[in-house]
Amino acid sequence: MKFGVVVFPGSNCDDDMIHVLGDVVGASVRKLWHKEESLGDLTTDDCIILPGGFSYGDYMRAGAIARFSPIMAAVIEHANAGGYVWGICNGFQILCEAGLLPGVLLHNDTQRFTCKNVYLKPATDQSAITAKLDQNKAYKIPIAHAEGRFHADEATIDQLVANQQVLFYYCDESGQVTAETNPNGTLRNIAGICNEKRNVFGMMPHPERAAEDLLGNTDGLDLFTSLLASTEVAV
């Protein structure tokens, strides 16, 4: 699997992601500028990453302008053809704005930017980025966002839960999902979801910021290795 990391004006996690994918994971990875209109040699066996940051300064609404960048037509086509797309933080916001994932990300209930380590409980093994995770482990992954409160109507939330499209819940260190462990007011402690076809993933926490011994935490690395291991089996 090869990776393409889309860079929008205001992206600030693109180089972090490229470093982890290339230098830590050992995958082939390259940048994709937001004004490009194709994904080049990347195929549906490959993964497009929409990284974190503040695309277009988060004007209007986080992700609302980036959704109309020229490259997004190719990203949407890639996803609709079954290719993998993974949006992290601002990338998750963009995926929702583009209609590739349901719901929307609203301002945190605190009305403040939140940057801290949180714990995530995998909610399913029915996705490539969670298939190889320990379903009983609480993964420590940092968040850094002002608009991370996932919201959708109750019917949509019920469907996401029933279809095992919820990827992660915010939890405590022991894996307990409680109101106190909800960092932003997100509905039902949801931290990440996927689409019905399970090839488009969105999550607010940053696994690329927890993927090296140098940082004192490698919990995030497991999501990348799960993706690679799961897709190798599928191929």
Pairing status of strand 84-88 against strand 47-50: parallel
Backbone phi and psi for residue 156, each to the nearest 5 degrees, phi listed first: -65, -45
Q: What is the DSSP string of 113-163?
A: -EEEEEEEEE--SSSTTTTTS-TTPPEEEEEEESS-EEE--HHHHHHHHHT
Active-site residue flag, 47:
no
Catalytic residue among 47, 89, 96, 171: 89
Active-site residue flag, 97:
no
What does R_g of the chain's alpha carbons equal in angstroms?
16
Catalytic residue among 34, 78, 194, 208: 208
Integer Cα distance of 135 and 175 in angstroms: 10
Pairing status of strand 84-88 against strand 200-203: parallel
Active-site residue flag, 89:
yes
Task: Spell out the residues 6+ positions from residue 160 whose beta carbon is closer than 8 angstroms to its own.
Answer: 102, 152, 166, 190, 193
Residue positions annotated with a catalytic role:
89, 206, 208
